[in-house]
Amino acid sequence: MMERDTDGLVGQFLDHLAVERDLSPNTVEAYRRDLGKFATFLTGKGLSVDSVTRKDVEKFVGALRKEGLGSRSVVRALSALRTFYRFLCTEGYCDADPAARIERPALWKKLPVVLDFFEIEDLLAQPDLTSDLGLRDRAMLELAYAAGLRVSELLAVRMQDIDPPEGLIRVHGKGRKDRLVPIGAVALDYIDRYRGAPRRRLLKDDGIVDVLFLNFRGAPLTRMGFWKLFQKHVAAAGIAKKCTPHTLRHSFATHLLEGGADLRAVQEMLGHADISTTQIYTRVDRTYLKDIHRSFHPRG
């Protein structure tokens, strides 16, 4: 097949998606972009659609990674390729799907950015504890790290979700699944200091809001609001790593595993439905151990 034939087959496939499978225009356009990259790759290698092997597909995936595409984009491109080849096999244009046995996309996930203990300490020390907003920020950062919360979970915490005598927080997770997570004495102390007079001053006299963390107007803090204050404190701490609020969650899990915590216990605290999602932190832990060995062993 020549390049013209490849383009023709892609066109037939896109028509099939739009007409027979009734996919949305945006979805069809996503397939068009991904398969356009594949067609360009075939042209550069002098390949035809029906001559592609598994190794060729692996090279295509590698080329996408070298372009700087993130894991989700690469996974989407591979999914498009598999669907395309299933169509070609059904229509009799190919005998086999060269993308069918490519390793699972979960194995390609990038290791998350993790702060070490000293970077965490520097970050937590940044809020100004003489101000109401500073106490709020410290309480939020301490809680996010102490319980490994997602940003959405942190911002949804209500006053009644904190149980100081038991040292627990009730977390409202994904899929409306609640879980109980220990939070420790330090986080509890800062939460207690914030939710008294400082929170009442933020709430204003006529406000009735049960969400724990408020903005300066007395309303629940937004995701963007938290992102901005987090980045401000990261910059003030002089942390060079590319951090997001989720970095605190990654650090929570990694530090627990480094300390010898059971993987199942960490899974439960994170609220992961599948333990394979939690296992990425064991890879981070191994990377950490390798770095330590390389730095300090005479033969490292």
Residues labelled catalytic: 150, 174, 246, 249, 272, 281
Q: What gap in Å lies between CA 74 and CA 63, rounded to an integer?
A: 10
31 and 42 Cβ atoms separated by less than 8 Å: no
Q: What gap in Å lies between CA 61 and CA 22, rounded to an integer?
A: 28
| DSSP letter for each residue of 79-114 | HHHHHHHHHHHHTTS-SS-TTTTPPPGGGGPPPPP-
Output the CA–CA distances (angstroms, integers) from residue 97 to 10, 135, 179, in the order listed: 15, 58, 43
113 and 241 Cβ atoms separated by less than 8 Å: yes
Q: What gap in Å lies between CA 191 and CA 199, rounded to an integer?
A: 10
Provide the b/e sequence for 133-149 (b: ≥16 CB within 10 Å).
bbbbbbbbbbbbbbbbb
Element (DSSP H or E) covering residue 169 = strand 168-172
Q: What gap in Å lies between CA 179 and CA 75, rounded to an integer?
A: 31
208 forms beta bridges with: none
Q: What gap in Å lies between CA 180 and CA 184, rounded to an integer?
A: 13
Q: Which residue bears the tokens 């989700």?
A: 72
Provide the 10 A C-beta neighbour count for residue 83: 19
